[in-house]
Structure 1
């Protein structure tokens, strides 16, 4: 007969289970409290960084000095909350562990970035207006710039390293709350890296490039994105400027057709020849089709010198969206019968002007006058901080390319996004890209839209990366009726060469067009009627394939493409 008591062994097991459950509940509560605390601190970091940015903009040095320590405190606390043994243990929990890892990694990265970058930048802000860099009208005071180069170098390097580490954080499978918080902090670090990197580049390059020791001559190629080329659009206007002692002045302007095509190409590259024929080596309007801007810039400089007898120290390529950015910091501009603001410049140049001026040569002349008007507004702007911010935004959007004929300067430019070189893959980053080049012969790409879909997976047992580009035409009937018909098409049709390049060293599955810097390239020639869509697809296997952190690049368009992620299609 039982006395109602459990055997000792069963009571012991029960106590052990109860203790384990209690410890587990405690641990869960512990990491949840610390997790929400860490997310809150990261949000405080972002808010404080925005406040610091505003204080620097307003040259409120005392306020910046008070904000900087707060940023360090928030990042330190976020790091402390996510680095104890219990937290680290939860990183090994299936399905949930990646959430804990992502928070810990972004907290640590933010802390390192703050320690190495915020203090030197705040110290510089006390002596130099970082929002204008001495810009006033058409002149920049070059004297203080060399003193900024060394302090900014360390901050730029630290932020670039932090940006690279942040991009490697795997957010696949993380909770949306975590993904959003990490993504916002990552964007903050990326913006800071871009801004400080640009400041460092300016401090290093501007004294020489703006004629501190000898006058310089540059050609600005203004691209019309309504006729797409690899770097943005057909070079519809050219403006020659001189720089001496920090002062910039306009010397000569020409339309794209004022620099006629050559009978024989200046030089040839086998890969570019396969993709685009010899046009980019003969026709100035097409020279920005060359995927490496160093080659494109050199071609434009050679052609300009042969046409006008002026040696060129560098070439700068901008586009319609750059003009839109600039006009956010200036008054409206007038050219011919048109008036344009930042809100209307795109419509004026891609719709109103072509409809009012049917002749392509006359369109280029009007486009050139628009470019001159915008440059004139920039050189007379009374809002230097707004103008530099606008140019910084345009550069961040990949809208500005620069090539220098001076080797040391070109080495620095080539290592930045301004250099317009094909990206280089390494242990941390894999890159793919889409280059669009118009073959319609009319400025109709303003009525087109792109969707780029990336997919990563396995095809036939082999890791694969797949890129699909869907190109859709919305050319209005009234525009199509008077448009020039592309070769093999009807009036209003869009004919576009869509080149998709894969990771360095990879192979193209199902067909290879050529290679660019060891990158496989698949190109398709697509012609679509108004209201239709066409799709180009490329699948890459081998080196760098199936990496979900692959970075996507694309030709700058009037409207950014929609970027989607999908399942891979091996059919």
Structure 2
């Protein structure tokens, strides 16, 4: 060593590492306790689900019963409102039931059900229907009931020569709002696919929808009335109208020749008769007062626009009105604001409501007509009693004047009956209305009053139905049309996969003229040949986008139709000669346009008597094909 000292330090002791302790085994829990807890959870869940299901089922039954009660009460409420009766008790009942249905189908239990598969569709549909009906009952129906108090049917016709327009104007906003609300509720209910619902709910929804369709029809009519009557009755200034009194004894497509023409003026709800003219004195022009389309000339001749008596030869009443208006303006210098048409059967219905009327004939004799005999006298009796056509015209004009005066001097009990008579005449095509105002005419379009050619119609649910037209135009100057009856039957209906329908239209024309009648009637009535043969042109219109595939008569003979397309509708025409007492049936094989599965309807020339037609209910709207 060299002498360098090295300091020695004590060595740091090394600590021994402890081996890690093994974890203590878990204390085992008794399996029985765990199973009991799980069982309790399951039991609780089952109880909750069962309670929820019971709650849901109870409310579903409560809501269904409430909605069925609403559907059952709606017809009574509608009748009470239409007749101006006290509807408060029925309204309260409807509101309470609707509120019950709404409460029962809203809440957490119902929201859960709406989100679930399978039952979700039913729950959502139920809630939608209940909500729509509750809103309808709470908002629209009270407005409609209030409006009915001031716009009852009796207010829609003149009393003491005047229609009180103020209540109608006051009710306008309520009625229009109620109609819109009913339309919204109907749209909600109609929009539900009942095919995906349980049968019990589907039937309840369908029943309610059917009742709402009826209510909507009534509210739409009321809405049009309060919207149109004040301005059309001169609330904003005087209005001039023509009334064509059609003579069904000489048939024309719309009813009969325009035998008498009345000029009415309305102002502030007061209606006055300005003058009456014989239809035959209006016309005789070298050319039509308006340009005629090719099919119009082919089907009706240019006499359609040359003579007032022939303006009703077209079954399209708006066209008739335009021609009559132009004729009157040319002859008198007065541009009327609208045109109406009635016939003696409609006048007889009015006399059922007003009572008999009397007037004096040119010889000074008193003539009395009633609600039982007016049509027979005006269409037949006048020709038997008076030989001279000029005298006949005066008598017919006197009768029209007497009926008008009866309408403008009603007592307190008859206005509602008059409204009923007018409604019946409108349904039969005996009362037609056209306005020169485009907005007003737009509101009239599609109603029974408009008399337009349609070929198809769409109901409140949006379903399209085919319309067949059967019209008559006398082909000789005679008055034996009084003895002609026409009946239409739709037969052999087949539903086709494209939504169209194939069927047979059977038109039976019958002469009820007897040999004794022929011997008694003057030649003026019997017309060409003097033997009482009825000469007429029979026109059958196919539905919109449809066709006539063929036609034959009794015995199977091919008719050989004269075909045209009038306003987009296929027409088959032929001339018919019917001897006294004879009957003949003509059959047309018709197919409708696509997607027209609804029940076939028939529009036809109204005759001297109301005849029933046979149209079967169609299964095509349910998708039944053959």
Please indicate the TM-score interval, normalised by the length of the shorter structure: 0.7 to 0.9
Aligned equivalents of 1:166, 1:286: Cα separation in 2: 47
What are the equivalent positions in structure 2 for 1:171-570 lying under 5 Å apart? 193=216, 195-266=218-289, 267-335=291-359, 336=361, 337-383=366-412, 384-423=415-454, 424-425=456-457, 428-432=463-467, 433-455=469-491, 456-457=493-494, 464-481=502-519, 482=521, 484=523, 491-510=531-550, 513-541=563-591, 543-544=593-594, 547=597, 549-565=599-615
Partner of 2:123: none
Alpha-carbon distance in structure 1 between the residues aligned to 2:220 and 2:457: 20
Q: Report the Cα distance in structure 2 between the residues aligned to 1:560 and 1:183, rounded to whole angstroms.
A: 34
- Cα deviation, 1:265-299, whole Å, max 9, x if unaligned, reads 22212222221211211111110122222211111
Q: CA deviation at 1:208?
A: 2.0
Q: 1:70 aligns with which of 85, 88, 93?
A: 93
Distance between the aligned counterparts of 1:550 and 1:109, measured in 2? 31
Q: 2: distance between equivalents of 1:434 and 1:498? A: 7
Change (3 A) 1:463 1:390: closer
> Residue by residue, what CA displacement relative to the aligned partner does 1:294-327 show, whole Å, maximum 9, x if unpaired?
2111111111121122221111111112212221
Cross-structure match for 1:25: none
* Contiguous gaps of at least 5 residues in structure 1: 1-34, 90-105, 169-181
Larger Rg: 2
What secondary structure, in the 3-state scheme, does the structure 2 residue paired with 1:334 have? strand
Distance 2:233 2:287 in 1: 34
1:97 counterpart residue number: none
The verdict on how the C-alpha distance between 1:532 and 1:145 changes in structure 2, with shifts beyond 3 A counting, is same
Match of 1:92 in 2: none
Aligned to 1:101: none
Is contact 2:344–2:379 with CA below 8 Å preserved after alignment? no
1:464 aligned counterpart, secondary structure: strand
TM-score (norm 1): 0.75
Structure 2 gap ranges (5+):
1-63, 104-112, 119-128, 192-204, 551-560, 619-626
Distance in 2 separating the partners of 1:397 and 1:111:
37
> What CA distance in whole angstroms lies between the structure 1 residues aligned with 2:479 and 2:179?
40
CA distance in 2, matches of 1:108, 1:436: 51
Classify 1:441/1:563 alpha carbon distance in 2 versus 1 (closer, same or farther; 3 Å).
same
Number of residue pairs the alignment of both structures matches:
501
Verify the 8 A CA contact 1:229 1:555 in the aligned structure 2. Answer: yes
Secondary structure (helix, strand or coil) at the match of 2:517 reads helix
Deviation at 1:545, TM superposition (A): 8.2
Partner-residue secondary structure (3-state), 1:553: strand
Give yes or no for contact 1:503–1:544 (8 Å, CA) kept in 2: no
Give distance in 2, aligned partners of 1:375 and 1:43. Answer: 41
- Matched residue SS, 1:430: strand
Deviation string, structure 1 residues 524-557 (Cα, Å, up to 9, x no partner): 2211111111223322236248845222222222
Does the aligned pair in 1 maintain the 2:158–2:409 contact within 8 Å?
no
Shift of 1:73: 6.6
Aligned to 2:622: none
Q: Is the 8 A contact 1:489 1:527 kept in 2?
A: no
Query: TM-score if structure 2 supplies the norm length?
Result: 0.69
Cα 1:350/1:43, change in 2 over 3 Å: farther
